[in-house]
Structure formats: C-alpha cells, structure tokens
Amino acid sequence: MGGKAPLDMKVNKVLWILLFIAVINSMGFGIIIPLILSYGKKFGVNKEILGILTASFSIAQFFATPVLGTLSDRIGRKWILAFSLLGSCASFILFGLANSLFLLFAARILDGITGGNISVAQAMVSDMSSEKDRAKNFGLLGSAFGFGYVIGPAAGGLLNKLGDRVPFFFAAAMALLGMVLTLLFLKETSSDKTRKENKKNKLFDFGALISVLKIPAIGASVFMGFLLTTAQFAMLIGFQTFCAEKLKLSPVQTGLFYAGFGVSGILMQLLVPWISKLISSKPWILLASTVLCATAMAWCGLTAGLFGFALGIGIYGLFNGLRNPMLNAIIADRMDDKQRGLVMGVNQSYASIGQTIGPLLASAAALLSLPAIFFVSAALIVWGLFYGWRLKQEAH
C-alpha cells in the first residue's frame, strides 16, 4: 500500500491538469457554436448552409481523428493534444478574421482536421487508469468537457456585446492557453516502449474504420456509441423546434432550458463512481440507462406540455450522461495498449458522423411531424440496445 501512494498522487495530478485543459478547450468550442449562424449571415450563411458548414467540420474530423490517434500512439499524447489545441486556436482566429463564406468553411475544416482533442484526452485517461477506476475517470473527463460546453454559450453571449468577432478571438485565446498548459504541465502518459514499437507500424490504414468494428466488445461499443450520438443530435433538433414552436419559449429561455439539460448530464457523470460501486457490471449500467433514454424520448414524442416535456428531457439528460463513461471504459478495458490512440480516434470518428447524420434524420422526420423526431431518436436508441445486449453477453 505504501508504495502505491506516490503513483496514485502522480496520476491524480496529471488527471486534474487534463480535466482543467478539457474545460478550457470545450469552453472555447461552446462559445462559438451558438454564434456561427448570426455571425455568418453577413457572408451568406442561412439555415441550409449552416448544416453544410457544420457537416464540413464533422467530415474532416471523421478522416483526421484516427490519424491523430495513431500519431499519438507513435510520438506521444501530449504533443498531439498540443497540436490539436493549436489547430483550434488557428481556426477560431481565421473565423474571426473571415471576410467571405470560403474562409468560414476553411476555418471549420481546419478545426475538424486538427480536432483530435477529445480522443487524445480519452486515450490519456485510459493510459493512466486502472480497470477499476476507468469508468470514474471517464465520467470526470466527460463532466469537464460538459461543464465547458454549458458555460461557453453564456460567455459567448456576453462577449458578443463587445463585438461580433470578439467571442472567436476569446475562444482562440482559450485554446492557446490550453496548449501552453499542455506543454508546460501535462506529463506524457504513453510509455517509451509503446511509442517505439508503434513507430514500426504504418501511419494509418483507413481500413481500421471497418476493422475496429469487428473486434469483440470494442466494435459493439463503437457502433452503439455512434447510434446513441446520432439519436442525441436528432433530439437536439426536436428540442429546439419544440421549445420555439410548441412552448413559445424565447431564445434566452430555450438556452436556460438547454443548460439545465447539460447540467443534468454533468451531475450524472459525477455520480459514476457511486453507481459503479452499486452496480459493478458496466454493460448492465449501460443497458439500464439506455432503456430509460429510449423511454424518455418516446415520452417526449407523446407529450404536449411544458411539464411533461421537461420531465422527458430531464430523464434523458440524466441517463444519457452515463453513455460515454461506460462505453469508453468498456473500450479501454478491451483494447490493446499499443492501439489506444487509434481505437479512441476511430470511436470519435463515428461520433462525428453521428453528429452529422442525426440532424439530417431529424429534418426528414420533421416533414412528417414534430413528434416524429423524438420517435426517430427513440428508435435509434432501441437499435443501440441490441449492441448493449451483445456487450453484456461478451462480458461473460
């Protein structure tokens, strides 16, 4: 016991520095996202072009993130995380200086190409965590990213009063600060031996986007995460439309409502250590939470009033918060130490595509009716349950 204390203290120190960097990174991202449409209108951005602009980031990230993950396996997590933050800084500056639609697209594509922040951070958490602590530490990382996403829009709204370009330059400063902190204080988590062995391998084989799905437990986890991410981003379209058209909420009221949704997920992620002690099986936690999320989405499709809708969104927000900590911990428990960056990169690639497909499916469902959006989201979650059951079976 006495010999373990210094190691535990070192791990905790690295983890808390990484969590602080995650808050800074996600806060910068949260600042700009709600402002893109209003800022881009003078360059010709409308709701249709906004969808393409958002998709350009996700598609670039789909192809780039596994490459960045592989590089982190070869040269180290710290340097790739710093590079990703530098790329975000440059993209925010380019967005703030933009004078054409072309530069807006260039900025979002640049951010997508260098957007390995989340997957590299997840690989670092996996490196430093024991199997017992992984779900807890992934929950803390998710809470850190979530906290930044929640406070970012509020900060962006305040900064926008100083000038419509100010929030983008502030977001750039946040990314730059994160890069400096990474270089100065964050310790490398991958071993020298692992990095040397990975240098012998190819930089990246895009066939890994398919081959990873064939790995027992990991493939089911990655695809389940893709389905649940797609469901969430479909739900977000329904959420915004329901608040505006049915509940007649103002943008400020909708923003506060959404903040409540985000906070509920953060709180649940902070409870992951307690939940993991109560229920030791990660697949069982995942299955139970997914059933509740599907039920909540179906309820949102059936309800018409504020109280009922808030109840459904609240239950969904709470139990959706368990998704990433459990899935990432299951993936990390089963993956080869030499391929952590690669696998986490592929996982993030599928999440980025889910972020694109979800709104498209929601838009198609909206042609039928507003409730249809929530039923589509529920159907995707139910589909995900099939892979959750596979994970439970493979755990034995």
**Residue 52 shares a structural domain with residue 119:** yes
Contact 176, 12 (CB under 8 A): no
**Residue 57 shares a structural domain with residue 30:** yes
Total domains in the chain come to: 2
Cα 263 from Cα 337, distance rounded (Å): 33
Which residues lie below 8 Å from residue 231, measured CB to CB, with a gap of 6+? 293, 297, 358, 376, 377, 378, 380, 381, 384
- 221 assigned to some structural domain: yes
Q: Which of 161, 190, 219 is the last residue of a domain?
A: 190
Averages of pLDDT over each 10 residues, the chain, 396 residues: 45 81 83 78 79 82 84 88 93 92 93 83 86 86 86 83 90 91 88 73 70 88 95 88 85 76 87 86 91 96 91 93 89 78 85 87 89 96 93 72
* The token pair that represents 297 in the structure block: 């989405």
Cα 175 from Cα 89, distance rounded (Å): 5
Contact 166, 160 (CB under 8 A): yes
Q: In 3D, which of 12, 324, 277 has the Cα closest to residue 138?
A: 324
Contact 49, 168 (CB under 8 A): no
**Residue 301 shares a structural domain with residue 268:** yes
**Residue 260 shares a structural domain with residue 123:** no
* DSSP conformation letters of 137-169: HHHHHHHHHHHHHHHHHHHHHHHHTT-TTHHHH
**Residue 224 shares a structural domain with residue 300:** yes
Which residues lie below 8 Å from residue 168, measured CB to CB, with a gap of 6+? 31, 32, 35, 39, 92, 93, 95, 96
- 265 assigned to some structural domain: yes
- 327 assigned to some structural domain: yes
DSSP state of 187: P
- 289 assigned to some structural domain: yes
**Residue 239 shares a structural domain with residue 326:** yes
pLDDT at res. 10: 54
Cα 382 from Cα 392, distance rounded (Å): 15
Cα 201 from Cα 199, distance rounded (Å): 5
For residue 278, report the phi and psi dihedrals to the nearest 5 degrees. Answer: -75, -40
- 2 assigned to some structural domain: no
**Residue 135 shares a structural domain with residue 261:** no
DSSP state of 11: H
Cα 75 from Cα 192, distance rounded (Å): 9
Place of tokens 């992984």: 134
pLDDT at res. 2: 40
Describe the crossing of helices 340-366 and 47-75 by its angle, rounded to 10 degrees.
Answer: 170
Q: Which of 136, 161, 190 is the last residue of a domain?
A: 190
Write down the pTM of the prediction.
0.80
- 198 assigned to some structural domain: no
**Residue 165 shares a structural domain with residue 296:** no
Residue 160: give the domain boundaries: 9-190
**Residue 89 shares a structural domain with residue 234:** no
pLDDT at res. 395: 60
Describe the crossing of helices 306-320 and 251-270 by its angle, rounded to 10 degrees.
Answer: 40
pLDDT at res. 15: 86
**Residue 150 shares a structural domain with residue 30:** yes
Cα 298 from Cα 324, distance rounded (Å): 21
How many residues are given for the chain? Answer: 396
**Residue 170 shares a structural domain with residue 45:** yes
Q: Which of 190, 224, 247 is the last residue of a domain?
A: 190
- 3 assigned to some structural domain: no
**Residue 127 shares a structural domain with residue 166:** yes
* The token pair that represents 92 in the structure block: 């925010």
pLDDT at res. 6: 44
Angle at the Cα of 358 (from 212 to 219), degrees rounded to 5?
Answer: 15
| CATH number of the domain bearing residue 238 | 1.20.1250.20
